[in-house]
Amino acid sequence: MITKGNLLVTSQNDKTVKQYNGTTGAFVGVAASGGALGDPLGVVVGLDGNLLVSDGQTKQVKRYSSATGALIGVFTSTNLSDPSGMTIHNGILYVANFDSPQGVQSFDATTGVNTGNFVPSLANPGPRDVKVNPANNRLYVLYYGAATVESFDLTTKSSFGLLMPAGNPIGSGGLYTPGAIAFGPDGNLYISGGTLGNLGVRRYNPATGAFIDFFAKTGNDNYSPVGIAFGPDNNLYVATQNASNVMRFNYLTGAFMDFFVPDGSGGLSEPFHLTFAIGPSSALTYTLHRDCLNNLDDPGMRWQIEGGKVLVNGTHVANYSSVKRISCGTTEQNTAQLWVTMFFLGAKPPENMTLQGAHDFGSGTEIGSVSAASSAYSANIGKQFKRVGDTLTIG
């Protein structure tokens, strides 16, 4: 059973994902294994709470039960080749594709349906990791072979260009063969990698790409950093491949704190990526594209019926139906009872989520909570929602 707040680390040599206590670092157990898992590289917590693991050998993203660690099935494999780092943002799973077709493949995080790809502006840069910058809502892709980062528009998938010049072979601030990226509590971009004698995590301005400092030094050539993540305590956690441990660094100073996971704890062998079991952001954001709006009068007063498409980052992911009921009990406050159901694409019958609340005709704002949902979205039941204009936010 995966416990919220615990640390999850992929272990390449024994083909598992390990779970460690998020406070003490003590080994808890194997979080995922089996199902012909050949080379576990990336790991994220899916929208349904189960684990998604990128398998570089079988060229798939596999889904594992958060309760038992057993394989549920292949979540997706479309256009994947040596998939590694992954992230989920606004209902979309982004996967860094190291081999051809190089770039980032995007998928509906509920159904696994491919929603397009982000194409590098460089030839054969070796994408290794991917994250969304919450400050500007852009996709950042780390290039192992080019020692740089490229950012993209989430909606159009067009490139904003390289954040810093490509390495030749050493990049800005001594960056070399980088393994992972993360955005810190300070909003800056952190990248693992470096040459022998200069291994660790470097910090960069996420807007300009300017090198800020060599933030955290692993201090030993056997401590080759790959996966990085900021924990619930805001400190920086770094998986080192050669020594098979996880180091912890102070988030303010970059000072080494401890070996949070000691060498080989629980059988950890050649760790790659890591994450904390806090799941993707609980806030879901959708754009509602109205196709129709009709009024229907009856003896009780009026129904207002609206429908259209649901978009995430410009991708059509669902359809919606909205019903407002206006009666003598709502006219005094110029409001209406509200029901909205979203029917997600990809499954039959469709996965769905129903919202109930009130529509204010003065401001146009809608508020309430999720009243019902099918299994894929049941974790959202009870969460608050708000719609302003075409933007619907849940959580």
Render pLDDT for 73-126 as a digit per residue (tens, 0 to 9).
999 999 999 999 999 998 999 999 999 999 999 999 999 999 999 999 999 999
Q: For residues 8 and 1, give the distance between their C-alpha atoms in angstroms, rounded to a whole number.
A: 12
Task: Please state the separation of Cα 27 from the chain's center in Å.
Answer: 25
Q: Is the CB of residue 37 less than 8 Å from the CB of residue 73?
A: no
- Cis before 206 (ω within 30): no
Q: Is the CB of residue 394 less than 8 Å from the CB of residue 382?
A: no
The one-letter amino acid code at 301 reads M
**Whole domain around residue 303: which residue ranges?**
284-394
Residue in the structure block whose two tokens are 């079988």: 58
147: helix, coil or strand?
coil
Q: Is the CB of residue 94 less than 8 Å from the CB of residue 76?
A: no
Q: Is the CB of residue 151 less than 8 Å from the CB of residue 157?
A: no
375 and 260 within one domain:
no
- Phi/psi region, residue 271 (left: phi>0; alpha: psi -120 to 50; beta: rest), is beta
DSSP assignment letter at 270: S
Residue 143 is predicted with a pLDDT of: 98
**Taking the CB of residue 135, how many other CB atoms lie within 10 A of it?**
11
208 and 242 within one domain:
yes
293 and 352 within one domain:
yes
> Would you say residue 377 has pLDDT above 80?
no
Model confidence, pTM: 0.74
174 and 136 within one domain:
yes
221 and 144 within one domain:
yes
Q: For residues 393 and 287, give the distance between their C-alpha atoms in angstroms, rounded to a whole number.
A: 9
**Residue 222: inside a domain:** yes
193 and 327 within one domain:
no
> Would you say residue 131 has pLDDT above 80?
yes
Domain boundary among 276, 311, 335: 276
Domain boundary among 276, 301, 325: 276
What is the full DSSP assignment across 122-138? Answer: SSS--EEEEEEETTTTE
Q: Is the CB of residue 384 less than 8 Å from the CB of residue 375?
A: no
**Residue 365: inside a domain:** yes
295 and 265 within one domain:
no
What is the full DSSP assignment across 37-98? Answer: ---EEEEEE-TTS-EEEEETTTTEEEEE-TTT--EEEEEE-TT-SSEEEEEEETTEEEEEE-
**Residue 48: inside a domain:** yes
Q: For residues 184 and 251, give the distance between their C-alpha atoms in angstroms, rounded to a whole number.
A: 8
Residue 311 is predicted with a pLDDT of: 87
Q: For residues 7 and 21, give the distance between their C-alpha atoms in angstroms, rounded to a whole number.
A: 6
Query: Tell me: the pLDDT tens digits for 143-155?
Result: 999 999 999 999 9
> Which whole number is the average pLDDT over 379-387?
88
Query: Which residue from 4, 91, 52 is spatially nearest to 351, judged by alpha carbons?
Result: 91
Task: Please state the separation of Cα 253 from the chain's center in Å.
Answer: 27
Q: Is the CB of residue 84 less than 8 Å from the CB of residue 128?
A: yes
**Residue 78: inside a domain:** yes
Task: Please state the separation of Cα 161 from the chain's center in Å.
Answer: 22
**Residue 1: inside a domain:** no
Q: Is the CB of residue 176 less than 8 Å from the CB of residue 188?
A: no
Which two structure tokens, joined as six digits, stand for 126?
């070796």
Pick the range with the lowest mean pLDDT from 35-44, 229-238, 369-378. Answer: 369-378
Q: For residues 311 and 285, give the distance between their C-alpha atoms in angstroms, rounded to a whole number.
A: 9
**Residue 146: inside a domain:** yes
Q: For residues 305 and 289, give the distance between their C-alpha atoms in angstroms, rounded to a whole number.
A: 14
354 and 270 within one domain:
no
The DSSP bridge partners found for residue 305 are 294, 323
**Residue 2: inside a domain:** no
237 and 314 within one domain:
no
> What's the total number of domains in the chain?
2
DSSP assignment letter at 12: T
262 and 152 within one domain:
yes
Residue 135 is predicted with a pLDDT of: 81
> Would you say residue 232 has pLDDT above 60?
yes
Greatest CA separation found in the chain? 81
346 and 202 within one domain:
no
Domain boundary among 276, 311, 342: 276
Q: For residues 28 and 50, give the distance between their C-alpha atoms in angstroms, rounded to a whole number.
A: 17
> Would you say residue 281 has pLDDT above 70?
no
247 and 308 within one domain:
no
**Residue 247: inside a domain:** yes
The CATH number of residue 242's host domain is: 2.130.10.10
